[in-house]
Structure 1
Amino acid sequence: MSQSESNDTTGYNERLILLVLATVQFITIVDFMIVMPLGPQLMRVLDINPAAFGLIVSSYTFAAGVAGLVASATVDRFSRKTAFLVLYAGFILGTLLCGLAPNYGTLVFARVLTGAFGGILGGISMAIIGDVFPDSRRGRATGAMMTGFAIASVAGVPLGLVIGNQFGWNMTFIALAISGVPVLFIAAYALPSLNAHFGEAHLHPLESIRRTFTVPNHLNAFALIIALTCSGFLIFPYISAYFVGNIGMSEQQLPWVYIAGGALTFFASPIIGRWVDRAGKLFVFRVIAPLSAALMFAITHLYAGGILLAIFVFGALMVCNVGRMIPAMAMITASVAPRHRGAFLSANSSVQHIFGGVGAYVGGLFVTQTGEGAALEGFGTVGWIAAAVGMTSIWLAGRLRSGEGDEVISAPELSLPLAAEAALDAGQPIIAFVDGPTEVNEVRLKSVHPELRREGAQHCPQRPRDAID
């Protein structure tokens, strides 16, 4: 009996469960992403410099990263429903505190609290999908939940910017917290307990972490995600302030920039995903990664008054970010043995968060602003660094080796969530759900390998550990 069958989900409305999960994803991704385009207003109202603003961004990601490492080894000790409700309630509280923060220090503390709870919700949501829906319907369920990411990137962030511009940045977070409260009560009613995994044996948390971080190929994958995340977060938190202070764009025009960029990524991501599966992951990555690096340099060296050019370059950069993340995540997912993939991807999400915070903080150390609304100085230097770090990812991608007999997760399956994430290059952790060491992988492999049907699919066939194509 599968895990999803052993959980008592009879009598629950699956559509309502998906609606709850998609709504929570919408709220969490808007909460994370909205801080960056609100940068010009936050620096002006709180009277802080770019380095201090970078700490507001990185405090969330640092907290989410540390919490994710702890959760990867401990969260399975609680029922899915209990874990989800506790984490979501803590997230709402953190978001409300952000809106009520009277000063800079309180806001940083509130972002730490929000990140510690919100950074884990994405993984819990994917685990709930895996427990509730059988493999035959899990892909469609995941896609339905991911609409929360899509709507957040295309509509949620621009709407949050409009609220912030009209009523002040505090109201954006207060509105998010208020809208999230009814969802908490609906989730308490809609979600089943999902505690069938209580009977499973669990490694000691430290042993689980040790195993994940001592495999050489895992370290190669972590190095690749670090390069991709850092290169994006070096510049993305400061682009809005750069557009306003250096290019001459008004804060009221910023929502349209994100609407245009988000729409482009969602149009381009399925096309890129299909191209990756046809041409090969490493090939597509090596084509798009240099373009992304070039655009990182270009967007930090624009001329004053070039608003249309800035919008075009920003949209192209977002497309290239999703273009490099789709093959990269497909390669990273394939680099680990299926039986270790759950712990590895949770750790990978934590690494993304932590080094996203590192990138945001380091970028702020190079950028200065002489006064309120003044141009950012030193942003061109940050562009050089981001481009250089992005280029190192080409070499790192070539070092990855396959950790499984055959690919079980295709690029198109990752394109939608990665398109949502590409808006800020590490908005919400992307965790590809794999249902245990055998269930999903063997079902998929049986359709590919006739010999597995004869032998009962006890083991994945071995193949040379060549570079992932």
Structure 2
Amino acid sequence: MEKNTIQIPAFTLNQKILIAILALLQFTVILDFMVISPLGDILMKTLDMTTANFGFAVSAYAFSAGASGLLAAGFADKFDRKKLLIFFYTGFIIGTFFCALSNSYETLLMARIVTGLFGGVIGSVSLAIVTDLFMIQQRGRVMGFIQMAYASSQILGIPVGLYFANHWGWHSSFIMIAVLGIFILIAIITQMQPVNKHLELQSDKNAFLHLWDTLSNKNYQIGFMAIAFLSVGGFMLQPFGTAFLVNNIHISHLELPMVFFFTGLSVLFIMPIIGKLSDKVSKFKLFTAGSLLSIIMVIVYTNLGPIPLWQVVVLTMIMFMGIMSRMVPATTLNTAIPDMKDRGAYMAITASLQQIAGGIAAVAAGFIVHQETKTSPLENYDILGYVIAVVTFFSVFLIWRVDKLAKSKDKTIVVPTTIE
């Protein structure tokens, strides 16, 4: 069948404002999850946690996020997506404040669970909004900008969070995120238009029946599995990253912000390029190239011994350029899988399974990695690298199947509803 093509329009002013809001929102959500890893060495020593305890503290967010996402999935297409975003982001801010008030491993664990219950749904709602309001030929650029939140959290958020932690205690890092979140919440309420076009396609189907129908769709299951595996490597590698840098490579706590700053800078540089390429070349080939680079660099990185700071920075920059080069094409391809009437549920389930898979990965990493004392070098970190490499290789096959599904659905280019 011959494709009916149309000219891809430029972003409107309202679309640009929406992209900025979603990027800032993702910045705080990603930072809230990521900042606990750089604080890992401080938290393990301050709250007297073992590597296994810390693995559970990281995975607590992931498991609760996964559970809430599954519970919300059946209702995700029943409401205005803006209202859903406001509800869950408000809960996320409250949960982050609870993290700041924690004074023991147990209270931190509970606070992470509360934060995950709300934070885990935000990403899927944001993706559903992007899928509703931007055509697939625009989504690579949109996702490139939104995924830059990851780099921005590395460049600005994590170094600032570590600075706060080093000068005013680790609690202040979470206070900083919560206060920033309040300003972003105000922007969502005042600047974002309702996103409710999908409501016209809804039937009277029970929410749980809608969830079951989405879960049982064979094509959707391929997307669920593919995106779930994407998170495994990051959840395994990052939680013990700072402990590895401090205790194995002998980087000081005062030097850590520099590592994260330059790593984020490299990702900030590569993401717009990957976003544009994702709209022009094969998304699967782009994903495969990023996967091969990340496999090589993860194996090199996890086998490092004491080396100069500049070498750590260079290797980490290259590694994360490979890792993040996978995210935009994979996420963009995944948005092409669901029908509009199922997008909210599909994105919620995808995010949930991704979080659950990541939570299992973090727990597994906590048992693979071992530390004799609070200042001893981490053991078995190289084994962790080999496990991540195998999982990354398998994810290439899964994304290949997603790519085939996306191409089969892209017979005719359809213009989505635009923002007035």
Q: Which TM-score band applies after superposition, normalised by the shorter structure? A: 0.7 to 0.9
Give the whole-Å Cα distance in 1 for the aligned partners of 2:131 and 2:328.
22
**1:15: Cα distance to partner?**
8.1
Q: Quick one: which amino acid aligns to residue 395 of structure 2?
A: S
Q: Secondary structure at the match of 1:252?
A: coil
Q: 2:68 maps to what in 1? A: 67
Residue identity opposite 1:286 in structure 2: T
For 1:115-139, what per-residue CA distance to the aligned partner results, in whole angstroms no more than 9, with x for missing partners? 11112223434556788x7979x97
Equivalent residue number for residue 218 of structure 2? 216
C-alpha contact 1:23 1:148 (8 A) present in aligned 2: yes
1:168 aligns with 2:169: yes
The Cα shift of 1:68 comes to 1.5
- Which residue of structure 2 lines up, in the alignment, with residue 284 of structure 1? 286
- CA–CA separation in structure 1 for the residues paired with 2:82 and 2:275: 33
2:346 maps to amino acid: F
Question: 1:59 & 1:207 partners in 2: Cα distance?
Answer: 28
CA deviation profile, 1:243-266 (whole Å, cap 9, x unmatched): 001000011111111111111122
Give the distance between the partners of 1:194 and 1:273, measured in 2 at CA: 24
Q: Distance in 1 between matches of 2:18 and 2:339?
A: 31
Per-residue deviation, residues 79-108 of structure 1 (Å, max 9, x unmatched) = 445433332221111111101101001101
Q: Note the alpha carbon deviations across 1:424-463, whole angstroms, 9 max, x for none.
A: xxxxxxxxxxxxxx9xx5227xxxxxxxxxxxxxxxxxxx
Q: Whole-Å Cα distance in 1 between the matches of residues 332 and 179 of structure 2?
A: 37
SS at match of 2:404: coil
Deviation at 1:283, TM superposition (A): 3.0
Per mean C-alpha deviation after superposition, the further-off stretch among 259-268 and 338-347 is 338-347
| Alpha-carbon distance in 2 for matches of 1:121, 1:314 | 28
Q: Distance in 2 between matches of 1:247 and 1:69?
A: 40
Unaligned 5+ residue runs, structure 2?
1-13
Q: Which runs of 5+ in 1 are unaligned?
A: 1-12, 410-437, 445-469
**What SS does structure 1 have at the residue aligned with 2:346?**
helix
Distance 1:272 1:59 in 2: 32
1:109 aligns with 2:110: yes
Is 1:97 aligned to 2:98, yes or no?
Answer: yes
Q: CA deviation at 1:65?
A: 1.5
| Contact 1:337 1:403 (C-alpha < 8 Å) held by counterparts | no
Matched, 1:258 2:230: no
Residue 279 of structure 1, CA deviation: 5.0
CA distance in 2, matches of 1:54, 1:403: 35
Give the aligned residue type for 1:370: E
Partner of 2:178: 177
Partner of 2:390: 388
Secondary structure of 1:229's partner? helix
Q: State the partner residue of 2:376.
A: 374
Residue 46 (structure 1) aligns with: 47
For the residue of structure 1 that corresponds to 2:75, the secondary structure is helix
Deviation at 1:236, TM superposition (A): 1.6
Identity %: 32
1:269 deviates by 2.7
CA distance in 1 between counterparts of 2:388 and 2:192 reads 42
Q: Show the counterpart of 1:269.
A: 271
* Structure 1 residue 84 corresponds to structure 2 residue 56: no
TM-score normalized with structure 1 length: 0.75
- Structure with the larger RCO, 1 or 2 (CA within 8 Å, 6+ apart): 2
User: 8 Å contact 1:334–1:402 — kept in the other structure?
Assistant: no
Q: Which amino acid aligns with 1:389?
A: V
Q: Secondary structure at the match of 1:377?
A: coil
CA deviation map 1:261-299 (0-9, x unaligned): 111122123333455555523333333323311221111
Deviates more, 1:227-236 or 1:251-260: 227-236
Change (3 A) 1:110 1:392: same
1:316-327 equivalences in 2 (<5 Å):
316-327=318-329
TM-score normalised by structure 2 residue count: 0.83
Equivalent pairs counted in the alignment come to 402
For 2:6, the equivalent position in structure 1 comes to none
Task: Tell me the CA shift for residue 359 of structure 1.
Answer: 0.9
CA distances 1:395-435 after superposition (whole Å, capped 9, x unpaired): 333444633566769xxxxxxxxxxxxxxxxxxxxxxxxxx
Deviation at 1:204, TM superposition (A): 2.2
| Bigger Cα Rg | 1
Q: Is the 8 A contact 1:76 1:198 kept in 2?
A: yes
Match of 1:293 in 2: 295
Change (3 A) 1:346 1:186: closer
1:235 to 2:237 alignment: yes
Secondary structure, counterpart of 1:376 in structure 2: coil
2:109 maps to a residue whose letter is V
